[in-house]
A = this chain, B = another copy of it.
Amino acid sequence: MSIRDVASRAGVSIATVSRAVNRIPTVDPELAARVWRAIEEVGYLPNTQARALVSGRSHMLGLIVSEITNPFFPELVQEFENLAVAQGYEVLIGSTNYSPERTASLIRRMLQRNVDGVAVMTFGIEEDLVQKLVEREFPLVFVDAGPDLPNIRVVKVNYGEGIRQGVQHLAALGHRSIAFISGPLRLRSAVARRDAFLKSMAELGLTAPAEHIVEGDHTMEGGMAAMERLIALAELPTAVLCSNDMTAIGVLHALYKTTHTVPQDISVVGFDDIHLAQFMLPPLTTVQMSCKDLAEAAVEALRAGIEREHPRAAKKEWHISTRLVVRQSTAFPRGTLPALVERAASNGPGKRSY
């Protein structure tokens, strides 16, 4: 069912059909009505490929994430997609899985499909990826950091604030011995979070010994392995702050296999606030980074780059804030008076130590 079928059925030229479809105001309302009727009758759908070919715009947005199987990303994808579709864009998703080859092929695919812009939400981009993308000078948005070029926009997450919220919560409960499990340190955002941790601790006059800063990889497996290293230490910290929620889930699991209970023996804090966090046992205290806000910023930034007279065309930076969500994986440090009082009080039915 091509534009020609509609044209002949409506008794007009294909140009008129095109104009009607694109809601060009100059078409005669009567003719337009006839066209729309014909469209209904033959069940016409404009061919996007042809449109893209002539207009030079595909109305497709690329969205590159690190790992689609990390639950944070589907949440982001969902929000991003909703927004994009609402604005008439289709989304091409790609998952790098931290592999340079995959990433390269991803870029090639996106380029070939003529996406109008791409959002790189990998939280720390491999440098060569940037290169390729930047060469063709088309709209790009990064999280955290990207090269300072005319077509590039960036969404910055306030890690300093987020991590500080976690550290201060722990410190307020009385924790002094706080460990940190970072993400893979190749990723800028992982480094940013770790540095924010160090800074937040220093602000409170606290220092973490080197063996309390351990590198994870933002997966449950990584969190588990990192926690096991912490458990092997002579002195177990009283709290662990994790670079993301998946890491925290791994930590919970590692602890489950020991005699230590959360939060009585050790407090655990995550980062991201994925939907799953509240269903963990115990429900995870975490720092929320709204992926809705993130998606909104990313889509807006992309549109600002694509559409010539977009109101925010000149804006280069967007900012995302965080907030602490206190649930049940944090408590007073073990052995302290408030913890003992708490423990004594919680021996009734309906409550149980985890």
Q: Which residues of A contact B (CB under 8 A)?
A: 43, 45-50, 52-53, 58, 68-69, 71, 73-75, 77-78, 81, 85, 90-93, 95, 105, 108-109, 111-114, 135, 220, 224, 249-250, 252-253, 256, 258-259, 261, 275-276, 279-283, 349-350, 352, 354
Contact = CB atoms under 8 A, between A and B. Distances in A.
A45 B136 CA distance: 12
A105 B85 contact: yes
B349 A45 contact: no
23 contacts: A46-B112, A47-B114, A48-B113, A49-B49, A49-B53, A49-B58, A50-B53, A68-B77, A69-B71, A69-B75, A71-B74, A73-B74, A74-B74, A90-B92, A224-B279, A249-B276, A249-B279, A252-B281, A253-B279, A253-B283, A256-B354, A259-B352, A276-B276
Given A74-B68, A256-B354, A354-B256, A45 B250 contact: no
Contact of A69 (B74, B113, B283, B354): B74
Nearest to A109: B90
Number of copies of this kind of chain in the complex: 2
A291 to B, nearest CB: 10
A12 to B, nearest CB: 22
Listed from nearest, the 7 A-B pairs whose CB atoms lie closest are A281-B281, A49-B52, A49-B49, A68-B74, A49-B53, A253-B279, A69-B74
A69 B114 contact: no
Contact of A85 (B58, B68, B109, B280): B109
A48 B92 CA distance: 14
A119 to B, nearest CB: 15
Contacts of A48: 112-114
A73 to B, nearest CB: 7
Nearest to A58: B49
